[in-house]
Structure 1
């Protein structure tokens, strides 16, 4: 399944942040990424510091709405996340 389809399917059942990271960097691709539901769209290569900054900004933006995203909880100070209260990463 391609990323467009996956993003669309996720959006049908969940409303947590999605950042698409892809080698496709044409304007049409970026627009399509947002049309299918991505909150952010990043073309590779991407510096890991930029990745972390984008993740943290997106989480901060939606954190005011909820501390969890469909069972996913992120702790920015320790760079850890849990899903249904089980440590995953």
Structure 2
């Protein structure tokens, strides 16, 4: 019976998690299978991506961690682009 349970996980997909820390501390993480993702961090709860904490976006060094949980394709890459309003 347990040998058949692996079929419940099809189709298998790559899984990378993006975690974010601001100069003030942990701001959240995105644990999703989507091959392309866009996340927003801002003071407004309604515009902040699920999994992240809304609040001030202070200047300073932010830390992005990309954790690799599962890679099943021959190639797996990522591109990280950070944009700000400069306010």
Q: TM-score of the superposition, structure 1-length normalised?
A: 0.29
Question: Greater CA radius of gyration, 1 or 2?
Answer: 2
Structure richer in strand, relative to its length? 2
Q: TM-score of the superposition, structure 2-length normalised?
A: 0.29
Structure richer in helix, relative to its length? 1
Higher relative contact order (CA 8 A, sep 6+): 2
